[in-house]
Chains A and B, each alone.
Chain A
Amino acid sequence: MTEPRYARLMAKVLQRIAGEVKAPTPAQDARGILEIERALMAARRRRQLTVFGAGGASVAAAAAAAAWVLFIEQKPLEPSAQANSAQANAALGQVVNVLAHANGAGVQLRVAGHEQPLTEDAALNPGAAIISGPNSQATLNLSTGTRLMLATRTQFAVEQANAMQRFQLATGSLHAKVAKLGKSQRFVVATPDAEIEVRGTEFDLSVLDHPGQGCEGSHTLLRVSEGVVEVRAAGGVQRIAAGQRWPANCDLDNLTPNNAASTAAVPTQERLRRGGVLRPAPAEPTQSAGGPQPATDEAATGEAAARNSHLLEQNDLFASGVAARRAGNTQAALSAYGDLLARFPNSPLAENAMVERMRLLKKSDPAQAALEAQRYLSRFPNGFAHNEASAILKEHEAKQGGQ
């Protein structure tokens, strides 16, 4: 066989033309650290679940399910035969146990028309409802591994808890992280004007007091972070993928940071995926005395959990923008980046989000791109995309001049 001389020589030439490595910007550093933190927390969660799943499943009483859920919260690294049994039962689609945990005083448990304060963790049977107050939230752990976090002023009821897990969100907001379901299992949340069905995904769902602009009269607002969610409303069925929202035009892009902060109906400001605690998230985390305080019973981890919640939320928004952009859904991507900028204007990811918006708009709406470029340059005069923004502006001005 011929000695591949030219291939060898060409490799030598190519070896000498390595590109120049650019130093990352502080915003890129911040994003990188966020990603790693997020991956570490995910790894920790996975490890906890793996420990539970590692033991052999045996027959156990259904009552053990409540103990299992408690166990996850309190001693996640110690396996329990009871826990495994409960999990196995749940996986078989028999009884799904729902355990409610109040975060803050003022959560009410309603059973058979009677309300009482939820002071201790309580198992919810079908028919039971949880009502959170203006300063309290609640977390619901299902024996399937699903976790529901109810925001303030939320009314949520369990309708069915077996192979069909059916709930009702009458008012307020929730964040759901739904575990993978078995073939015969279903997970449905009904709102006054829609029904949401998912299979192993993550989403935010709210019932608005008054439909917002562009919400097509819908009181329900859904935003999907992961997987696909089916929405049934007004006789129609739609599939909403990760990074998308429903109704599609019901977005928060036009909200300024101030009114975003004051809009109580905006649900996803109240979201936390960690530690079993849900806290109202401010529009921008600050050190002001009036900001939300971590729960005192979690002094050791509360601060870290709260900090991570904001970081995670910012990162989630950015990630959903990236996912939507990759999926070719420019509107959803613009919307996600817009949310991030509106709710966390001083986020370390703000610069990246502005640049992403500018790039997306450059293709779809050059005039808007020029506006975005102008905003970017005024805010980040020495930003990493300075040249790009200037070029967009110049191009736009040239076009305007030509006309």
Chain B
Amino acid sequence: MASAAPKLRVVSGGAGATSASALPVVDDAQLIAAICRAEPSAARAFYHRVRPIVDRTLTRLLGANDAEYEDAAQLAFVQLVQAIAKFRQDCPLDAWVSVLTARVVYRLIRERRRERQIFSGLPFDELAATAPRTSGKVISGQILERMRRHLEGMDERRAWTYLLHDVYGYELKEIATILNISVSAAQSRLVRGRGELHDRVAADPDLSRYLDDFAKEEALS
């Protein structure tokens, strides 16, 4: 007698079965159309298309070692499916996925109600442990800790805007979407955030000296 069809066929495979390379190549427009039609068969292709972007965004904003990393990823997938009908395709899919994932992270962190940990995701500790080099200069754990403290000491909204724009390269329009504010509010927060951070660092002799040295090395290289 023929056995029943495998009920876990969609997900029960190993690494090979879930490999993106085994999937048929479809362009973004086709994929988006299939998701808009709510076709379950498109789930796997969509997942493999967006997962790297979601991971990249989460790693940057939340940190790869965050306890809620995977939860945030799952939440991002759901949000992406729910919002895809509104995606006008006036920007690349990657950018849109990144913005939506960033919004998930932002909300998640706010929900934690632990403001002082908003930047815990930045890989300061990992970096301090491995002592990476920037422009030939070792960043000490102490310097990283100072940077973290200054960011944490800032107005949270300004700090987020500064990080998203100046560090992670989101445009103001995207930041407005992530933070659910107007573009002009994002612009205002950015300008004020930069000013506030500058003043804080200027009052910190060790960090300002480090950054001055960094600027000189940058100029030389």
CB distance from A141 to the nearest CB of B (A): 21
**B129 on the interface (CB 8 Å rule)?**
no
Which residue from chain B places its CB closest to the CB of A29 in the assembled complex? B18
Given known pairs A13-B139, A43-B38, the reply for A311 and B55 (CB within 8 Å) is no
**B35 on the interface (CB 8 Å rule)?**
yes
Q: Name the contact of A13 in the complex, choosing from B44, B73, B214 (C-beta under 8 A).
A: B214
Given known pairs A13-B211, A303-B5, the reply for A40 and B35 (CB within 8 Å) is yes
**A300 on the interface (CB 8 Å rule)?**
no
**A36 on the interface (CB 8 Å rule)?**
yes
Stretch at the interface among B8-16, B86-94, B96-104, B172-180: B8-16
B122 to A288, Cβ gap below 8 A?
Answer: no
Q: Name the contact of A311 in the complex, choosing from B8, B15, B163, B167 (C-beta under 8 A).
A: B8
CB distance from B53 to the nearest CB of A (A): 10
Given known pairs A5-B198, A307-B8, A322-B71, the reply for A16 and B134 (CB within 8 Å) is yes
Q: Which residues of B contact A36 (CB under 8 A)?
A: 43, 46-47, 77-78, 81
Q: Name the contact of B211 in the complex, choosing from A10, A35, A308 (C-beta under 8 A).
A: A10
Question: With A and B bound together, what is the CA distance between A14 and B60 in angstroms?
Answer: 10
Q: Name the contact of A4 in the complex, choosing from B60, B144, B194 (C-beta under 8 A).
A: B194
Q: Interface residues of B toward A: which range?
A: 35 or more
**B120 on the interface (CB 8 Å rule)?**
no
Given known pairs A22-B64, A359-B67, the reply for A310 and B8 (CB within 8 Å) is yes
Given known pairs A6-B208, A32-B47, the reply for A13 and B147 (CB within 8 Å) is yes
Give me 19 A-to-B residue pairs in the complex whose CB atoms sit less than 8 angstroms apart, sorted by A's number: A7-B194, A7-B195, A14-B122, A15-B167, A17-B123, A17-B139, A24-B51, A29-B47, A33-B43, A36-B77, A37-B10, A44-B38, A285-B7, A286-B4, A292-B4, A303-B5, A307-B5, A307-B7, A308-B40
Q: Name the contact of A307 in the complex, choosing from B9, B147, B197 (C-beta under 8 A).
A: B9
B132 to A12, Cβ gap below 8 A?
Answer: no
Which of B13, B81, B122, B132 lies at the interface centre, i.e. has the most chain A CB atoms within 10 A of its CB? Answer: B81
**B1 on the interface (CB 8 Å rule)?**
yes
B1-42, CB under 8 A of A: which get 1 and which 0?
111111111111111001000000000000000010011101
Task: Mark B residues whose CB is within 8 Å of A.
Answer: 1-15, 18, 35, 38-40, 42-44, 46-47, 51-52, 55-56, 59-60, 63-64, 67, 70-71, 73-74, 77-78, 81-82, 122-124, 126-127, 132, 134, 139, 144, 147, 150, 162-163, 166-167, 193-195, 197-198, 201-202, 207-208, 211, 214-215, 218
Q: Interface residues of A toward B: which range?
A: 35 or more
Q: Name the contact of A40 in the complex, choosing from B18, B39, B139, B195 (C-beta under 8 A).
A: B39
**A19 on the interface (CB 8 Å rule)?**
yes
Given known pairs A6-B202, A287-B6, the reply for A41 and B40 (CB within 8 Å) is yes
B70 to A43, Cβ gap below 8 A?
Answer: no
